[in-house]
Amino acid sequence: MKKALILRALTLATMMSPYGGEDIVADHVGTYGTNVYQTYGASGQFTFEFDGDELFYVDLGKKETVWRLPEFSNITKFEVQSALRNIVMSKRNLDILIKNSSFTPATSEIPEVAVFPKSSVVLGIPNTLICQVDNIFPPVINITWFYNGHFVAEGIAETTFYPKSDHSFLKFSYLTFLPSSEDFYDCRVEHWGLEEPLVKHWGTCIPKPTPFSTSNPPADSVLPNPASGL
């Protein structure tokens, strides 16, 4: 990936709702209309969040609202043109900031990667692997999956960039899979903050049952004993 001119938070032209500041104590926090626009690939993002969970984002290419859960669309509607206008405004602000800046390159943060299953692993039962990438800045990243060393092109879903209070971003990638004791998976992350791609390995690990003995009975074979307090 060729590094483009991206300044820190100002050049990203990230505009967030003033609600939910650190000096305000609230039961719930809504982030309405988080706009991110950057020069790399002329890309941007518009999202609505509530208590840190995404309600929807706007697909700028298709010019349509994408709800995180389909039932959310039954509660309210959103006018896509409003998001498009905000992105245009962000681009204009970004152009002005670049012209008036010293062209100082942004410092790329080192992303943190973790891979884990969505639910408890049972051999032969479909599951989902989650690749969590945290501390992303700038929000430009490549996430790819490998199965037994081979590139995976299907069965993958990815979230948008979730903004964090420290101005970094969080992103998730999902891979559906069928657990097997012989298979292994890798999540490969490419980012400007890394000297080389970061690969996180995951393999099915099912603990072997402990042999039954009178001195070490399984938990469900222990009978209540009033004298011992069980």
**Domains of the chain from N-terminus onward:** 9-100 (3.10.320.10), 112-203 (2.60.40.10)
**Residues of the chain with confidence (pLDDT) below 50:** 1-21, 212-230
Q: What is the pLDDT of residue 99?
A: 79
Q: What is the pLDDT of residue 109?
A: 95
- Spatial neighbors of 154 by CB under 8 A, at least 6 apart, are none
- Spatial neighbors of 34 by CB under 8 A, at least 6 apart, are 14, 15, 16, 17, 45, 46, 47, 48, 49, 163
Q: What is the pLDDT of residue 135?
A: 97
pTM of the model: 0.66
